[in-house]
Structure 1
Amino acid sequence: MRKIAISDIHGCNATFEALLQQINFSKADQLFLLGDYLDRGPSSKQVLDTIFRLKAEGYHLQCLRGNHEEMLLWALNGHGYNLESFLRNGGDTTLASFAVKKPRDIPRQYLDFLENLPFWIESDEYIFVHAGLHFVQGSNPFEHQDQMLWIRNWAIDLDLEWLGERYVVHGHTPTPNTTIQQLFRHFNGLRVINIDAGCVYQRTGYGHLCAVDLSNRILYFEPRHTSDDAV
């Protein structure tokens, strides 16, 4: 059984489905999705529908919460984060994919899914998290849920004693695919890999969706499909 991780799909469902075909995803695999299924790309609803379909067909998926799921939930629940802010951060495309005007009009099955997403998953020697881990002396990194969704530039503070023989796999910070490849060559020493290849961004070096096969130590990159261009 392969362990595979993908992060930051951002409404790019055609690219997501193509990447699953490229890696020959099967029911014998475990797929970890590290959050940010929504916003910016045109097909947020369709990404969630693909996840639901795969689960219903018996594929093994475990899904994490990302900061964009959190922003939708804030806008839904009045967490001091208003609708206009949500829309400015790509939420307009999410609502358009559902053909609704406000988060509360998204069908309940989708909202229930988002509300129940965990902040991190540990499986064998791997810790999966959306953004990263916050290390403060005397505290458990798993206690800092907000940081798991939002933190950047954190790996320099990685507590190797706490980590032990484990590895951290995350996304959140868009990174050129060449940089991801370079860092992955040193994965055994660094103990951390960021797999957000900036699928939704139309900038040189970005515009890919990345999958990492942790069992065989292989990276895959799928260029963003034109049907997933941000609207």
Structure 2
Amino acid sequence: MSKYVMSDLHGCYNKFIKMLDQIEFKNDDELYILGDILDRGKNPLEILDYIILHKNITLLKGNHEQMYIDFYENNDISLWYYNGGEITHSQIVNKEIGYDKSLYNYFKKLPYIKTIDKFILVHAGLSFPDNCNYLSIDDFIKYQDEDTCLWNRENIGKEQKYRDYTVICGHTPVQSITNNYDDVRILKRYGTIYIDCGCVFEKANGKVACIRLDDMAEFYIK
């Protein structure tokens, strides 16, 4: 059994399936997707259907799932559309009656942070109180607020570390951190691993990235 992490698939269903083939994903393996399966790409709901059908895949909430929640609750579509939600929305409205509500209920229940062994999985980032290393892991996790976990970029370039845990996050494509659009790969910086390689952004040499927690092996699909 192996444990894998991906993030920010953004509707790139075909690349997602190719990645599963590359890692030879099995029924006794585990996959954690750090949010943002929706928007920008062509097939977001196909990714969701695949996740729901496979109990060994865990989806965490990303800011794009939260934007759908906010749209459903407030009927304000502007922020969601600004961030590429039009494709997802057009597919949702063509589904059967009640699909939008079931999608809302599903996303509302998603976790926004998870610990696996010595890894903290989150979509965007964490808050680090001054005394964080004196906190138990349970208290450190309780300290995290949802907005930070879904949206935060403040720690990029000034990464912090909690004890001997490693943070794995997506949200920010590594190209925008390194300004390197040629050799696009998972970025590791002082206790934080950035795994969003911008798969939906083809002009930025985007890739689906996957990391295996057992041995930290990296996999890529362009």
TM-score using structure 2 length: 0.84
Gaps of 5+ in 2: 133-139, 176-180
Partner of 2:114: 121
Q: Higher RCO, 1 or 2 (CA under 8 Å, sep at least 6)?
A: 1
- Paired residues for 1:58-207 under 5 Å: 60-78=56-74, 82-100=76-94, 106-137=99-130, 140=140, 142-160=143-161, 163-176=162-175, 178=183, 180-181=185-186, 183-184=187-188, 190-204=190-204, 206-207=205-206
CA deviation map 1:89-138 (0-9, x unaligned): 1111101223449xx96443322211101110011111000001122335
Contact 1:180 1:193 in 2 (8 A): no
Partner of 1:18: 18
Structure 2: which amino acid aligns with 1:167?
T
Aligned residues: 207
Asked if the contact 2:93/2:100 (under 8 Å) is kept, the reply is no
The answer to whether the 8 Å contact 1:42/1:97 transfers is no
Contact 2:185/2:209 (8 A) holds in 1: no
Matched residue SS, 2:84: helix
Which deviates the most, 19-28 or 109-118? Answer: 109-118
Letter in 1 for 2:69: L
How does 1:1-16 map onto structure 2 within 5 Å? 1-16=1-16
2:203 is paired with a residue of what secondary structure? coil
CA distance in 2, matches of 1:191, 1:11: 29
The residue that corresponds to 1:218 in the other structure is 217
TM value normalised by structure 1: 0.81
Partner of 1:34: 34
Residues 140-199 of structure 1 deviation map (CA, whole Å, 9 limit, x = unaligned):
464321011111141555443xx1121111100011483534x34xx6xx2210100001
| Superposed displacement of residue 216, structure 1 | 1.8
Alpha-carbon contact 1:15-1:222 (below 8 Å) kept: yes
Letter in structure 1 aligned against 2:30: Q
Task: Give the equivalent residue in structure 2 for 1:208.
Answer: 207
The letter for the 1-side match of 2:8 is D
User: Structure 2 vs 1, CA of residues 180 and 85 (structure 1 numbering), >3 Å: closer, same or farther?
Assistant: same
Alpha-carbon separation, structure 2, partners of 1:123 and 1:21: 23
Q: What's 2:135 paired with?
A: none
108-117 or 195-204, which moves further after superposition?
108-117
Does the 8 Å contact 2:40/2:200 carry over to 1? yes
RMSD of the TM alignment (CA)?
2.3
Rounded to whole Å, the distance in 1 between the matches of 2:102 and 2:20 is 24
- Using the aligned pairs only, state the percent identity: 31
Change (3 A) 1:138 1:191: closer
Q: Secondary structure at the match of 1:220?
A: strand
